[in-house]
Amino acid sequence: MAKENYDKDELLEESEYSRKSEFSKARLCEDHSRRILELRSRDMRPGYTTWFTDKDGNSKPQVIPDSRKEYVGAVEILMRFLSPEIKIEKSKIKDIYEEEKEEVFNKYAYHEKAYKYYDTNKNCALWKLTGEIYLPQKGARILCDDETAPNSVNISSKNGLWDIKVDAYWDALVDLCDQLFEELVDLMHKIDYFKGGSSF
């Protein structure tokens, strides 16, 4: 058991890439954690495009990024950066997060529709799916029933039909990443990652 603990401590020391070197993994983790805190302190809201007029009178787009995507991306990068420490500690942090993320995706993903056909056995019109499953971009045109005859094989399409579910997906990921970040901080605290020189 003592040998096992020694090997574990040795691996953790190696994972910090030596505090004497110019590259400090601990410092990068600290800086990135501060950035995550800064991102999370902002309102978590969807991105959008606004238009402004330049000095020459030309109308130009200005894209406001989705703060939720920035936050989720930052937390996921930290998780991947701490991959060696997660493996050494035999933690299930990454596995659990990936499983829960997949569940959220399956809940809000769009099962792409191809067309409608009349099923004589069931005596009703049914959708034929393409087999593609994805999260559409907001504003994307989505096939749907013809409102004037929803039970017929007639089809229609609408822009942004899946927008509410897209927003619900990213809102759910923010909640998952709140939990993930808390667990990553606990992990860094557990292995005393910032001992000797870090103010984190």
Query: How much of the chain, in percent, has pLDDT values that exceed 70?
Result: 84
The pTM score is 0.79
Do 132 and 62 lie in one domain? The reply is: no
* Average pLDDT, integer, range 113-128: 94
Do 56 and 24 lie in one domain? The reply is: yes
Do 45 and 132 lie in one domain? The reply is: no
Do 18 and 84 lie in one domain? The reply is: yes
Do 152 and 71 lie in one domain? The reply is: no
Q: Say which residue, 5 or 64, is predicted with more confidence.
A: 64
Q: For the segment 148-158, what is each residue's pLDDT rounded down to a tens digit?
A: 888 899 999 99
> Per the structure, how many domains does the chain have?
2
* Average pLDDT, integer, range 159-170: 95
Encoded amino acid at 81, one letter: F
CA 173, CA 177: separation in Å to the nearest integer? 6
Q: Range of 157's domain? A: 109-164
Q: Say which residue, 123 or 196, is predicted with more confidence.
A: 123
Angle of CA points 41, 70, 165, to nearest 5°: 100
pLDDT at 12 over 50: yes
Within a domain: 195 = no
Within a domain: 116 = yes
pLDDT at 39 over 70: yes
